[in-house]
Structures are given as structure tokens and as C-alpha cells.
Structure 1
Amino acid sequence: MLSVIVITKNEAGHIGRCLASVAWADEIVVLDSGSSDDTVAIARQFTDQVFVTDWPGFGPQKQRALDKASGDWILSLDADEEVGPALAEEIQQAIRQNAIQGFEIPRLSSYCGRPIKHSGWWPDYVLRLFRRDAGRFSNEVVHERVEVQGPIGRLNQPLLHEAFVDPEEVLHKINSYSTLGAEKLFKAGARASLGRAIAKGLWTFFRGYVLKAGFLDGPQGLMLAISNAEGTYYKYLKLRELHRLHR
């Protein structure tokens, strides 16, 4: 039995396509954290396993969703991801195996309408398919991961990820993720200066656009390199500010 788990907040623009792509699964669990749009109503068109709770961070929230699932196998998706027919078939074949406890899936992400094949984004292997009794989510509030006990395999067909729809969403996520990233670094005892924030941002741009060949992704590759650099810069700038506030 396969359970799909998805956490959501204000994902009305994505959640319908996501859940439709896994309508073949045995169970779908959606855990929402107080959406103000139609996310919950849309999700309930696909499953009666829709729950609303508070927001403790990505890792704890995904673990909550996992705890509500009953399948032997778990497929964890983000609301802006979709499973194509070829991947769906590969997943159904993979979960018949007995020796493997989890599978990494290559993720093909799009940025403002263009699938990104360079910039360090492809192939972006993510561990999303695993046996429920062998895996759990780390406790990080951002950049969480699945921790699986046992051998891990890899699938071939890509998971489709609509990472950023337009510049407005880019700006929103830069602000949100840089704040969460700064808080994570602060708790770990990391420090930052204005100079370090600038240097980290410049290195992020150079790595993505030059070393990872982001220039081959056209205008979107340049936009992606700039937005990644901005996110890194603001993360360290916010870390610096957190230290100033807690003197």
C-alpha cells in the first residue's frame, strides 16, 4: 500500500495538479497549516484525509503528515510537484522490491516557465519514496531531509517541480527562505558580517552561473543565478541582524 503525503499553505495554484497526478495511490494525506485561499477545499476533492494544524517548521510538519499515513510505502511530495505517468509506473514497480528501503528520484525543476537542465539543478536527486517503518524526517525547520535506515536505490524517471512560477513568487520565497535559513544558522552558532554576506552572495552567483553552466539555461539561468545570490546574501545579512538584536 502506498501513501502520498503533502504539506500545504496557500497552494491553491498548485495543489490540484499535484494531487491529480497521484490519484492512483492507495492513500493521500494532506496536512495544511492555515491556508487563507482554496487549498483545503481543492485538496478535499481528492481525499478525505485533509488536516489543518499550526506550523512548527518543514521537518516537524512533514513528520506529522508521515505519522498520519498508514501505507507500507510513503511518497512525500511538495505541493508544487507532479508525478508523470512514466514515474508513476516506475514507482509502482519499485515498491514491489523487498531489499530496498527507499528511493531517490531525479527532480526536474522549472524556473519562470523553463525547465532548468544546468545551474546545479539537474539531476537533483531527492529521497522521497521510502518504507514507512524505515524512514522519518529530520527536525530542521528548513532544508529538512528524509532519514532512512537501510539500502537506498535510485529511480530513472523525473519528478516534475514547478519551483518558481513568476518573479513575484521568486521574491516571496527569497524572503521566506532567507529568514528561515538565518534562524537555522543562528541556532547553530554561526556568525556573519556584511562583507561575508556580500562574498557568499557573489560566490553563489559565480558557482551557479559559471561553474554549474547556468548560462546554458538562457535568460532564466541568469535570473536564477541572481535570485540564488540574493537569497544567500539576505540569509547572511539577516543572520548578522539576529546577532545584533540578541546582544
Structure 2
Amino acid sequence: MLAKLPTRLPLRAGERRTLSALIICCNEADRIEDCLRSLHGWVDEIIVFDSGSTDGTLDIVRRYTDKIWKTDWPGYGPQRNRALQQASGDWVLYIDADERVTPELRQEIDNALIDPHLDTTLFRIPWRTYLFDGELRHGRYATPQNRLFKRQGARFRDHQVHEQIVLPERRAAVMKAKLEHRSWRDYAHLQRKHRRYANLLARQKFEEGARGSIPYACMRFVTDFVQQYVLRLSVLDGWRGLMISAVLAQYAYWKYADLKALEREAARTAAPAANKTLAPVSAALLRR
């Protein structure tokens, strides 16, 4: 295992702050190499947490780094925190196996981390998302993402999905260059991924005390479609914009339908326990 980076001295003129890249993955052999290639020789360390790959993913990863941990799957937030705990760089870039750092983005990051007067603690990086080899230029999948941050004191929220960065001081800026994002292998994968995220988020909401309803789920289908297709201008992305707007509307419906289903399931589970508790009391009343 490589040694952790040494304690930093003040920057010399033109010297870049150290940078760690974090990747969490499972069965990404068909696309992780492009991600690793975009980082290799540029970042100071690549840290990979794998949660049970069986397709040769780790054989590919070993060509680029020896900082590899094989673990269980505790959820997105906890897993990213595990990876973050191993990072030594002044700054951290967290990136997924389906993403690549473009040369333009690499240069912009270098320029930022060389700046001796850098006061920002978080950079948001726009996505260049592809759907069936065409770019989604508008809507949710074109918006900037929180991906590059100052490591000291940082952590991820322990959420199962849609985890967020928590910083002791948050001074954010948005980069111009884009992070290439090829999230979906095909239409079935697009659907499966959103279905899984919807269920995870519903469970998270349920544990936080939220409750759902089918009428509300149906309303969210309509409002989320309008928001994506019209208000966020996915209409300008042609048939791809129409498709992704429909998928995101369906995703919203699934979240709240799942939430209602979890509520009903919890009620059914609680009912027998309540009956067992009441049974001795009822028998005692009958004997009076």
C-alpha cells in the first residue's frame, strides 16, 4: 500500500495543491478504465472502494492504483465516507466509474488549485451527460454537481442515495468545463437505475418519518414532467429530452408510491404485534 501524502508545506509559486480522487464501484469492468485513464498521472492518488465486483473490475483497477479496498455495501453516503477517510490530498475529487475528466476540466482544476489566493472550498462541475450517444444539454442531467472540495473537515451525509457534501465552511464556485457522464448502458439500465434510486430514497424518507399517497405520487408524475420538459428546457433536447423527462417523472411517481407501500407494509407488520399485546387484556376482561 502506498504511504499517505506528507504534511503540506506552504505552496511554492506554480505548485498545485495535492488532489485525491475517490471512486466507489461494483461490476464496472466495461467502463471504469476510461475513468481511471482520465485520472492516471494527473491526480496524486486514486482511491477505489469496491463492494463485491465479480466481472474483473479490480483487475483493471490494479493497473492504475494499489489503493483498493474490498468491502460490503453500506449505502452511497457511508461508502463515500469510508473512501474519504483514506484520502490524503488537500483537495478531493469524487467521481463515478461512468464519468471521465476531460482535458479542459483537468486544466481548469489545475488552474484553480495552483491559485495561491484560492478561497473557495467547493467547486460545482457541470455534467456533459450522454443518452444514446447524444448530449443532454438541458435539464437535471446538465446541471453542475458538487464534486471537488477541500478535504479538511469534510464529510458526506450518511444517506443511502443522493448523498451531499458537508463542509465546515462552504464557499462554492461553478466551473465552466464539464465532467463527461455516460451513466446508462441502454434503456433497460436507465430504467433499472432510476427504479433502484427511487426505492432507496423512499426508504430513506420513510425512516425520516415521511409518508406518501398515491394521489400525491400521481401529481408528482405530472409536475416533475412539466418541470423537466418545459421549465428546465429539456424540450430543446428533442426526443432525448422527452424520454429523460418521462423517466424522471416516473422516478418521482415511484418514490412516493414506494413510500406509501412501505407505510402499508409497516402497518401490517405492526398489527399482529398489537393483537398479541391486546389478547391477554381482552381475556382478563372476559373473566370478570
TM-score, normalising length: structure 2: 0.82
The 2-side partners of 1:44 and 1:221 are apart by 38
Partner secondary structure for residue 90 of structure 1: helix
User: Is 2:146 aligned against 1:146?
Assistant: no
Structure 2 equivalent of residue 3 of structure 1: 20
Whether the 8 Å contact between 1:72 and 1:131 is mirrored in structure 2 is yes
**1:46 has 2:58 as partner:** no
Task: Give me the whole-angstrom Cα distance separating, in 2, the residues matched to 1:211 and 1:194.
Answer: 24
Q: What is the Cα deviation at residue 3 of structure 1?
A: 0.9
The amino acid of 2:139's aligned partner reads: S
| Distance in 1, Cα, partners of 2:214 & 2:172 | 41
Q: Determine helix, strand or coil for the equivalent of 2:239.
A: helix
Matches of 1:35 and 1:172, distance apart in 2: 18
Q: Is the 8 A contact 1:101 1:149 kept in 2?
A: no
Q: Secondary structure, in 3 states, of the residue corresponding to 1:198? A: helix
Rate the CA distance shift 1:213–1:155 in 2: closer, same or farther, 3 A. closer
SS at match of 2:95: strand
* CA–CA distance in structure 1, aligned partners of residues 50 and 242 of structure 2: 34
**1:157, 1:91 → 2: CA distance?**
9
Q: Does the Cα contact within 8 Å between 1:183 and 1:239 map onto a contact in 2?
A: yes
From 62, 87, 91, give the equivalent of 2:109: 91
Matched, 1:125 2:118: no
Structure 1's unaligned 5+ residue stretches are: none
Return the alpha-carbon distance in structure 2 between the equivalents of residues 118 and 89 of structure 1.
24
Higher relative contact order (CA 8 A, sep 6+): 1
Distance 1:193 1:104 in 2: 34
Q: Is the 8 A contact 1:113 1:165 kept in 2?
A: no
Change over 3 Å in CA distance of 1:120–1:176 after alignment to 2? closer
More strand by share: 1
| Per-residue deviation, 1:149 | 2.6
- Identity within the alignment, %: 39
Per-residue CA distance 1:83-102 (angstroms, 9 max, x = gap): 00111111112112342222
Unaligned ranges ≥5, structure 2:
1-17, 268-288
AA of the residue aligned to 2:222:
L
